[in-house]
Structure 1
């Protein structure tokens, strides 16, 4: 068949097989892909290998080419391609294969359909999108449709931690003119995402016996006073807002210090994260905090976990194409929105494809 027009594409939407789509999602859930968070996979549930192999097998059976890349020990990406017929723009559907842990979730790896919804670890975030990508491939094959440009499907690893899968794909993967990342957005069109930077705040004190605390300096109490200043810092962030993302935010997530309750602690470590807006740099954050927090025996190191913010250029053709697709699919809200979390769209992480534009 020739390259389809908008009417033919609308008929493709009508041909989506919801039962097959549900079955695919349940099968993806049943292939475990727990993120080991910086470690090598330690058991059968960890790593993305099984999901990557599932994508490869499904897509090669439909005539796509597909490679699975072990970008780190036990960690995998999958990249499939359906060549275009006439040199049009290339498009990549990208999504992460990893999930968070299954502890305390006895049915985590069983796809359960209940009240019109699919339940299971990763059902929403984001194996549902991977299932949708596979359904697109199925419909294109059934209707023998040839697209003008290449269509790519990428399953990447490690999004739940440091986006190492997207970094690896961005460094060695193909060029794509645009990338769509199917993160759960309630079907809203998200044209910007916040970034992330995580830091260690270290507070030094002087240890002594707990019976004579006046002879030392309690690092935990000093840290507690400093943390009060984070509320002032958030108020300064609230005053500068992005039109789609709102204000940047700061979160204190971990505090550690001390050895015994009868010893004045000599050190306290606080881990915090700062959500970045487009145009902000992780290097700005320690400088900003130094202006807000009281001076003392504390220090903030360089960010040890970073994901850049991202914003699709105003008026980009991808945004218009997505709004058209939303209209054809009956999506009521077609206005642009911001995605509050970080994602694989970030260009600073290498992104899901080089020199491309992305939308969540």
Structure 2
């Protein structure tokens, strides 16, 4: 027997209203999709359910073995421009539920915010995409172009969800990645080189340390080399992103306090600006730490990419899509549209770099409220974002009157 949990919430007649978009978001937040953890399949099936009988054609696309993304299309009556709305379904895990003041999957609304894991990053953007598609579906007969929707798996770990959708044919001419930007238009986005540095030595009882190579001593000159490198890269300027960064984040090594370890692992978060590449910067880091190793040192050094990477991406701040979004922000919110650079990394890299789509990040929420306890998103921004993107979509897809 089907329970109430299987039914979609009732939306108001105004599909772009705060109540409608919040109801969609709450429905998604209540379905865990942590990566690693529950992953995205339950959310993928729920997204497809939202589109049944609406005229939006939605299909599951296997992006990785056993893990699915959703590709969807609202087709216009002519072969006009295609607008892609992109977002990811996975969320980061919950480190410590005791730090939360609400149930992370309850989708509580209080003080003008909806709370929950993924509320800001980025099920808010997914809810906006669904609301915009449902609203435009009522005017599909007037559309000369098509709305393409991505609900991607695996973005949090730079996995190929979005790329798999593009390769499956869900592509377009323009793209909006609905990551949190506080309704600013991100024409540029940083890349990420996750760097793993392993220092190798020889394990031995600490009382006999002088007879072995202790990799822990290598941390000093490696960190000194990274700090000098950080100072240098901060002099490389980008008009929207300022500069890149080099941040040591994790040190692992050793088993017990009274033994020298075989190895020490250091992880570095290297954020890139356009013009820098993951492979190029990893090679540069490797050369610098090797050059910093003292003459005669027996400490071994291995430098590699720790996990999947993000390349930086940018489009011309004066591009047609940005001009349309600027006008829509002004029309809907009454304030000038702001063009800036997003400090984080996102799947806009796939749209711009891999598919050649004119694409930006633009969505509800503040990145400072992502990946943390009591993650939340402004309900007011949810509605405003839905109306701005809907306005831009009408500008691109509807027939001129």
Please say whether Structure 1 and Structure 2 have the same fold, judged by a TM-score greater than 0.5: yes
Distance 2:351 2:319 in 1: 20
Mark the CA change 1:71 to 1:123 in structure 2 (over 3 Å): closer, same or farther.
same
Q: Secondary structure at the match of 1:355?
A: coil
Measured against aligned partners, the alpha-carbon deviations of 1:85-105 in whole angstroms (never above 9, x if no partner) come to: 232210011100111113533
1:3 aligned partner: none
2:85 aligned partner: 93
2:356 is the counterpart of 1:358: no
Counting only pairs closer than 5 Å after superposition, residues 1-360 of structure 1 correspond to structure 2 as 16-36=16-36, 46-105=38-97, 107-142=103-138, 146-289=142-285, 290-291=287-288, 294-296=292-294, 297-303=299-305, 304-330=307-333, 332-347=335-350, 354-360=355-361
Distance 1:124 1:163 in 2: 20
Aligned-pair CA distance for 1:229: 2.6
Aligned-pair CA distance for 1:143: 5.3
Structure number with the higher helix fraction is: 2
Q: Which has the higher contact order (CA 8 A, sep 6+)?
A: 2
Q: Secondary structure at the match of 2:117?
A: coil
Aligned-pair CA distance for 1:60: 2.6
Measured against aligned partners, the alpha-carbon deviations of 1:84-130 in whole angstroms (never above 9, x if no partner) come to: 22322100111001111135336111111101111111111111111
Aligned-pair CA distance for 1:167: 2.3
Q: Secondary structure at the match of 2:348?
A: coil
Mark the CA change 1:314 to 1:124 in structure 2 (over 3 Å): closer, same or farther.
closer
Contact 1:191 1:312 (C-alpha < 8 Å) held by counterparts: yes
Contact 1:88 1:150 (C-alpha < 8 Å) held by counterparts: yes
Aligned-pair CA distance for 1:23: 0.9
Distance 2:56 2:239 in 1: 40
The unaligned stretches of length 5 or more in structure 2 are 1-13, 362-401
Mark the CA change 1:132 to 1:314 in structure 2 (over 3 Å): closer, same or farther.
closer
CA RMSD between the two structures: 2.2
1:5 aligned partner: none
Measured against aligned partners, the alpha-carbon deviations of 1:285-307 in whole angstroms (never above 9, x if no partner) come to: 24433236612534343324211
Measured against aligned partners, the alpha-carbon deviations of 1:215-261 in whole angstroms (never above 9, x if no partner) come to: 32321122233213322211111111111111111121222222332
Aligned-pair CA distance for 1:314: 4.5
Mark the CA change 1:199 to 1:331 in structure 2 (over 3 Å): closer, same or farther.
farther
Mark the CA change 1:347 to 1:137 in structure 2 (over 3 Å): closer, same or farther.
closer
Q: Secondary structure at the match of 2:188?
A: strand
Distance 1:17 1:51 in 2: 22
Task: Give the TM-score taking structure 2 as reference length.
Answer: 0.78
Contact 1:171 1:350 (C-alpha < 8 Å) held by counterparts: no
Instruction: Give the total of aligned pairs.
Output: 337
Contact 1:283 1:302 (C-alpha < 8 Å) held by counterparts: no
Distance 1:29 1:212 in 2: 55
The unaligned stretches of length 5 or more in structure 1 are 1-13
Distance 1:266 1:348 in 2: 43
Q: Secondary structure at the match of 2:61?
A: strand
Task: Give the TM-score taking structure 1 as reference length.
Answer: 0.86
Distance 1:348 1:275 in 2: 19
